[in-house]
Structure 1
Amino acid sequence: MAEHRPNDKKSAEIIYDPQLVDGIVYKGLAERERNGDIALYEEYHELRNDIYEIEQELRPKRFRDLDRDFFHRLGYGRFLLEILDEYPDVTEVVEEVHVRRATTKQNEGSNVVDDGKKVVIRLYSDQFIEGQEICKVLRHELMHVADMLDEGFGYRAELFQCSPMEERIIKDRYGLFWDIRVDGRLHGEGRETIATKEERKKEFVSFFRKIPEKTRDLIFEKLWEGKEPLTHHKMIDMSKDVNKLVEVVSKSGSGISSDLEEEVEKIGPLPGTICPLCRFPTSDWVEDLGTGEEIVKMIKADFPDWGAHDGVCVRCAEYYKLRAGTW
């Protein structure tokens, strides 16, 4: 289902997934009926029943045309058009916007393909029925798109040379950093966001509980305020290494003191990262090797580049304790 702005040849073509449109129209009309507005609901079903009277091979197109007509009559077509107007940097270069169906709110997202000429946005049909919510979602996703089209941001698809578990952790952290920056900018511009500052901070805390609270608060504030732009590369680095998170933010003028930086250096690796010895992801890190001076020497003999701050998983620690006769 393709749409254009009237009398605007330069506008991007908006192509809706027929399944998404069908779901939106069905739910929208059902909502109207529940609220006592049955005229449009009855008209739609009468027209739909009439389609069953024509030849079978002609029905699919007629059903799609009917859904498209009611999609606009219900007012759902205007949301994307209105939000696109807020992003001239996107509309100047994008030729097609493909709107596809997301099965859940968690699956909503966006991507840029074909050298920036095509945008794909996945949306959950219920958001359209709620009206105001879909505007927040579209605004959020188009901010992501604007970043992807910005050469200074440097977005590119990453191929991680790591385990699936570690890759998921990196992607989850990266997604959180980016969402914080998007919502922080929207909030600063006085526009509505899909999550409040407090909600984003709660997410941030859940990811980085091991970071001392004062340090963590300073880092979050800098991410939210975004006075220093974050690039794709910087966010990847921060997602892989908590010390890079502190380092990158502090270099951007965060005001984090050297004492706090030293405190974070003692944190060690976060749960889910790989052990530098066995190269397996782990959530069980040894906090203290005790009086294991001999153990440290043994590890460094096998892994010269290893340092105590790099950490060691429980299994590897047990192995070296056995070798040292201290387990």
Structure 2
Amino acid sequence: MKVSYSPQLMEESVFRHLNHLERSGYRSDYDEFHSLADPIYELPEDDREIAFEKVNRLFFMEKLKLGDHVLRALEAVGLIPKRKRTSKKSALLKENQALKSDEDFAVAEAAILPGEFTEETESDDVEQIEEEAVAVIEEEAPPEDTDEVSYDLAREFEERIKEVIVKRAINKVDEGSNVLNRVSGNPIIEMRVLASRFSNPEEALDLDAFLIQEFMHAKDMVDPEFDYEDAFIPGNPSVKNLITSRFRLLWNMYVDSRLGRIGVVSVLPKEARFREFDNFYRKIPDKQRRGIFEGIWTADKFTHEELLSMATDLDTLMSKYVDPGEISEEERDFIHLQGSPCPLCKFPTYNWVDDPESICDEMVLEAIQIDFPDWESKDGGCDRCIEVYELRAGVG
């Protein structure tokens, strides 16, 4: 399995990282980069793009070692055994040290080969990579007994995955992982990440946590036991967005809980994830809400279908973790979750009037039932709809 990085990601990541170092007073890498990059402007215009790509590749992979974040994340989730990375010393660096003048550098630059990253094989063959930077990883001797996290060394996932491609995301919505060619049997993990995440060395743990979480999602996608599939979510766009948000939350909880059990850092700690869960399901009584959260957090296995069912249907979630005697059917009917569609206007609702009958005039209820004959007070409604019908009934 090889790990490759898009030229756009390498270019912007190196630029941001070096600028941060320069502003922080560390100029050595910044100056070295410009000693290699500035003479490229003397080359013919058609040759500059390739030359800049070589310099960016050198700094991304070798000098700044930004690609190591990806390798560590792959190790942490068990997609690759714990390994060490080897590389041939970049010809670009060798040539630059040997050149004595800018003129010599300009002549030699066109002949420079890109840095190569190879995986050792029995025949010790070295494959030249021309179009993209490829981080290759080789097996390392078993580590000595230390306090480090013991990673899963099983090769089943590595052998199942053909390639990992890391690309630049254009915004936060674009970030995340996906598995291409999953059905065909030659899956490729595509990771999109903002280049700005690579800029600050002090935020390296946040970058690692993000990559680990997204690679866990990708690992689930290729895990036959999780049985991931591109499911169709019925309903209007607002309902689809609501179900998708709940599903993402439940899947993130499943990921974070497994990472916590093996001592690997996650994007959010348990209590922070509970606050997110609490925001989605705050209408469920406190005791039952905490019980549902703990039940999901301590679960060993979920399938994609189980998570999607719990995100889609509140009864499925409640029946799985709440005993029938703890809460009656009538009480369940009054649970109106934030973001659920109002039965009147169908828009996502965050300010519910749970029992209009207890606070509204009878004329308001009659006005609602004229338009919605099947509506009952226990169905509730959003505060705006109730206000509209109060005005229509002349009692607002």
TM-score of the two chains, using structure 2 as the length reference: 0.67
CA contact (8 A) 1:265 1:309 kept: no
1:56 aligns with 2:45: yes
Q: Please identify which structure carries the higher helix content.
A: 1
Deviation at 1:193, TM superposition (A): 1.0
State the SS of the aligned residue for 1:260. coil
1:191 aligns with 2:264: yes
Deviation at 1:277, TM superposition (A): 6.7
1:230 is matched with which residue: 302, 305, 320?
302
Counting only pairs closer than 5 Å after superposition, residues 296-311 of structure 1 correspond to structure 2 as 303=374, 311=380
Once residues 22 and 390 of structure 2 are traced to their aligned partners in structure 1, the CA distance between those partners, rounded to angstroms, is: 71
1:110 is matched with which residue: 152, 177, 189?
177
Identify the residue that residue 31 of structure 2 maps to in structure 1.
42
Once residues 90 and 27 of structure 1 are traced to their aligned partners in structure 2, the CA distance between those partners, rounded to angstroms, is: 33
Deviation at 1:110, TM superposition (A): 0.8
Identify the residue that residue 197 of structure 2 maps to in structure 1.
127
Deviates more, 1:111-120 or 1:125-134: 125-134
Once residues 101 and 307 of structure 1 are traced to their aligned partners in structure 2, the CA distance between those partners, rounded to angstroms, is: 50
CA contact (8 A) 2:239 2:340 kept: yes
CA contact (8 A) 2:355 2:378 kept: no
Q: Residues 48-69 of structure 1: CA distance to partner in whole angstroms, max 9, x if unpaired?
A: 1111111111111111111011
Once residues 313 and 28 of structure 1 are traced to their aligned partners in structure 2, the CA distance between those partners, rounded to angstroms, is: 48
State the SS of the aligned residue for 2:225. coil
CA contact (8 A) 1:237 1:244 kept: yes
> How many residues are treated as equivalent by the alignment?
307
For structure 1, the 5+ residue unaligned runs are 1-10, 251-255
Identify the residue that residue 79 of structure 1 maps to in structure 2.
69
Q: Residues 160-196 of structure 1: CA distance to partner in whole angstroms, max 9, x if unpaired?
A: 3322222111111111111111011100111111110
CA contact (8 A) 1:186 1:193 kept: yes
Deviation at 1:314, TM superposition (A): 7.0
1:247 aligns with 2:319: yes
Deviates more, 1:260-269 or 1:159-168: 260-269
Question: What fraction of aligned residue pairs are identical, expressed as a percent?
Answer: 35
- Describe the shift of the 1:316–1:50 C-alpha distance in structure 2 as closer, same or farther (beyond 3 A): closer
Deviation at 1:104, TM superposition (A): 4.5
Q: Which AA in structure 2 matches 1:126?
A: S
1:19 aligns with 2:8: yes
Deviation at 1:114, TM superposition (A): 1.1
Deviates more, 1:127-136 or 1:143-152: 127-136
Once residues 185 and 320 of structure 1 are traced to their aligned partners in structure 2, the CA distance between those partners, rounded to angstroms, is: 49
CA contact (8 A) 1:97 1:119 kept: yes
Once residues 299 and 383 of structure 2 are traced to their aligned partners in structure 1, the CA distance between those partners, rounded to angstroms, is: 38
Once residues 206 and 389 of structure 2 are traced to their aligned partners in structure 1, the CA distance between those partners, rounded to angstroms, is: 55
Once residues 90 and 114 of structure 1 are traced to their aligned partners in structure 2, the CA distance between those partners, rounded to angstroms, is: 15
1:218 is matched with which residue: 287, 291, 302?
291
State the SS of the aligned residue for 1:259. coil
1:140 aligns with 2:140: no
Counting only pairs closer than 5 Å after superposition, residues 272-311 of structure 1 correspond to structure 2 as 272-275=339-342, 281-283=348-350, 285-288=352-355, 290=357, 303=374, 311=380
Q: Which AA in structure 2 matches 1:232?
A: H
Deviates more, 1:98-107 or 1:215-224: 98-107
Identify the residue that residue 57 of structure 2 maps to in structure 1.
68
Structure showing greater Rg: 2
Once residues 207 and 384 of structure 2 are traced to their aligned partners in structure 1, the CA distance between those partners, rounded to angstroms, is: 48
Once residues 32 and 314 of structure 1 are traced to their aligned partners in structure 2, the CA distance between those partners, rounded to angstroms, is: 52
Identify the residue that residue 4 of structure 1 maps to in structure 2.
none
Deviation at 1:230, TM superposition (A): 2.3
**Greater RCO structure (CA 8 Å; 6+ sep):** 2
Identify the residue that residue 159 of structure 2 maps to in structure 1.
92
Once residues 91 and 310 of structure 1 are traced to their aligned partners in structure 2, the CA distance between those partners, rounded to angstroms, is: 50
CA contact (8 A) 2:283 2:337 kept: yes
TM-score of the two chains, using structure 1 as the length reference: 0.80
- Describe the shift of the 1:262–1:67 C-alpha distance in structure 2 as closer, same or farther (beyond 3 A): same
Deviation at 1:155, TM superposition (A): 1.7
For structure 2, the 5+ residue unaligned runs are 80-154
Deviation at 1:225, TM superposition (A): 1.4
State the SS of the aligned residue for 1:144. helix
Identify the residue that residue 7 of structure 1 maps to in structure 2.
none
Aligned-residue Cα RMSD (Å) equals 3.4
Once residues 115 and 258 of structure 1 are traced to their aligned partners in structure 2, the CA distance between those partners, rounded to angstroms, is: 43
